[in-house]
């Protein structure tokens, strides 16, 4: 067990530049849009939250602004 708190992250895909959710305790996340395997820690993190709910709202907001 680790003491590191699980964080829900809103990250940007390095290949297609779309936004997606990731969990900080995971090392990688596969982009659902282009299939690229992203290394968490090597991608741009736009927001982080302790709850999935909040991260989802941030993601929705970003997508809305994206058009
Ligand atoms: Zn992608």
**All domains of the chain in start order, with CATH:** 8-66 (3.90.820)
Distance 32 CA to ligand 1 centre (A): 7
Distance 16 CA to ligand 1 centre (A): 4
- pTM confidence score: 0.88
Is residue 20 within 8 A of residue 33, CB to CB? The reply is: yes
Distance 3 CA to ligand 1 centre (A): 30
pLDDT tens-digit readout, 34-64: 999 999 999 999 999 999 999 999 999 999 9
* pLDDT for residue 2: 57
Distance 6 CA to ligand 1 centre (A): 23
* pLDDT for residue 66: 81
Residue 1 binned pLDDT confidence (cut-offs 50, 70, 90):
low
Distance 58 CA to ligand 1 centre (A): 18
Instruction: Decide which of 4 and 38 is more confident.
Output: 38
């Amino acid at each position: 067990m680790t003491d590191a708190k699980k964080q829900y992250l809103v990250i940007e895909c390095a290949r297609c530049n779309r936004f997606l959710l990731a969990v900080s305790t995971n090392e990688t996340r596969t982009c659902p849009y282009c299939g690229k395997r992203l290394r968490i820690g090597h991608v741009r993190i736009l927001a982080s939250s302790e709850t999935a709910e909040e991260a989802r709202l941030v993601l929705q907001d970003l997508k809305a602004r994206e058009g």
